[in-house]
Amino acid sequence: MRSLVHGLLLGVLLVSSVACQTAPSGKAALDVTKTIEVKPADATAVEFYRWYVKQVNDGGSPFMKAPQQLKEYVSASLWKTLQQTRGVEKDADYFLKAQDTLDDWATNISASPAKMVDGITRTIVTLGASAESKHRLALDMVQEDGTWKIRLVREAR
């Protein structure tokens, strides 16, 4: 009798264990073995500048043409600042730190490996290939909503 009760209890435990791990579709309801890969900050910066320079070259402001896409790359604090200064005439584009793009910028974008400096993730983005066209930008980046976003852009020294 005792072994019958133990057998029933073991069966109930096994069924409950499987029920907790299996969704109605037969697939795992929660797979804790999977990890979410976050694209490195420098790769996100290159992706942003490929998109951004193309938007500028196609004519118009990405802020006006594609604000939702722009917002995907920009931290909440920078987005707020950009909205507050919207319509104010500026000497240069915020993300380019230049008034215009050069011909080879769209096809020559690279970034240094991101580094943590004083608690801030930083990367240097280089636009252009030749000595005359190279333009370096220093980016501070933060993680928001599981992705890297640009918090600050300045000219690199």
Would you say 149 and 45 are in contact if contact means Cβ atoms under 8 Å apart? no
For 90-148, give the DSSP string.
-SS-TTTSSSS--TTTTT-EEEPPPEEETTEEEEEEEE-SSTTT-EEEEEEEEEETTEE
pTM, rounded to two decimals: 0.75
In this structure, the chain runs to a length of 157
> Hey, CA dihedral for 103, 108, 112, 117, is it positive or negative?
positive
Mean pLDDT computed over every residue of the chain: 82
Average pLDDT rounded to a whole number, residues 124-144: 96
What type of residue is 98?
A: A
Q: At residue 93, does pLDDT exceed 80?
A: yes
**Model pLDDT for residues 2-55, shown as the tens digit of each residue:** 443 344 333 433 333 433 344 455 555 544 455 556 689 999 999 999 999 999
Would you say 49 and 125 are in contact if contact means Cβ atoms under 8 Å apart? yes
